[in-house]
Amino acid sequence: MAQALRVEDLCKTYIVNKRQNNVLKNISFTIEEGEMVAVMGPSGSGKSTLLYSVSGMDRPTAGKVYIKDTELTGLSEKDMANMRLARMGFIFQQMHMLKNLNIMDNIVLPAYQLHKGKTEREKIDSYGAKLMRKLSITDIAKNDITEVSGGQLQRACICRSIINNPDILFADEPTGALNRSSSEDVMKEMVRINEEGTTIMLVTHDMKVAAKCTRILYILDGKIEGELTLPSMKESSNVRDRENQLNHWLIDMGW
């Protein structure tokens, strides 16, 4: 298996009021193609900072990040923007949908941006419609983003994040604002997207979400303190077993 993401000695330091806050401390890890990795850890431990630093949302203070063979840290702003558009998907809370576009137009926008000037709109629209069908949100295609439920909006965000067939999908608390049943629906889709070949790295504090992943990294005070490997959902779909195993491990980690 090839590497989807490689991180070497990643450091991130924030300076606030002249005080240095070393949030990420020499983090190194690799994610193989096809993995679905959850990052867990206490609030403030650096999970979001890690996700932003490895996905090009933010520049690390030191260290290297590779998406496949491309070193992110060496890219110009323009190349980084292209890379993010063409090869990476994002489900981040602060990446809001645009208010002046309906749900469908929001979903296809990244594809229009990627294929600028080319006459591929019909193809893009039909792919967007297909994704909406898969995630059962066809009936809200023409709705404003204020006219849908939280679960529907999150499924629309998933459609948008995969419209350009990314190699790797990054998600920060993708179910954080959802009730249990919407959360289950969203995770079902995330697992399916992963089974169809997209590598996923997500941050969550929800054990039920992490238990669906193939590996869990535990981060504490800016360092990776441990990792747990689980079989894929295809290999072992007994959710209770998975949650038990994860629960024991998290207790060991001091969760």
Ligand X SMILES: Nc1ncnc2c1ncn2[C@@H]1O[C@H](COP(=O)(O)OP(=O)(O)O)[C@@H](O)[C@H]1O
Of 2, 9, 14, 96, the residue at the interface with ligand X (CB under 6 A) is 14
- Identify what 46 binds: Mg ion, ligand X, none; CB under 5 to 8 Å per kind: ligand X
- For ligand X, the closer of residues 44 and 231 by Cβ is 44
Note whether 254 binds ligand X by CB under 6 A.
no
Of 23, 36, 157, 187, the residue at the interface with ligand X (CB under 6 A) is 23
- For ligand X, the closer of residues 103 and 201 by Cβ is 201
* Dihedral class, residue 102 (left if φ above 0, else alpha if ψ from -120 to 50, else beta): beta
- For ligand X, the closer of residues 9 and 147 by Cβ is 9
Note whether 241 binds ligand X by CB under 6 A.
no
Of 5, 35, 49, 168, the residue at the interface with ligand X (CB under 6 A) is 49
Of 44, 150, 231, 254, the residue at the interface with ligand X (CB under 6 A) is 44
Which residues are CB-neighbours of 115 under 8 A, at least 6 positions away?
Answer: 124
Give me the least distance between CB of 48 and Mg ion, in Å please: 3
Rounded CA-CA distance 246/252 in Å is 10
Q: DSSP letters along 9-50, please?
A: EEEEEEEETTEEEEEEEEEEEEEETT-EEEEE--TTSSHHHH
Strands (E), 84-243: 88-91, 168-172, 199-203, 215-220, 223-229
Select from 212, 216, 217, 206 the least CA-distant residue to 235: 212
Q: Which residues bind ligand X (CB under 6 A)?
A: 14, 16, 21, 23, 41, 43-49
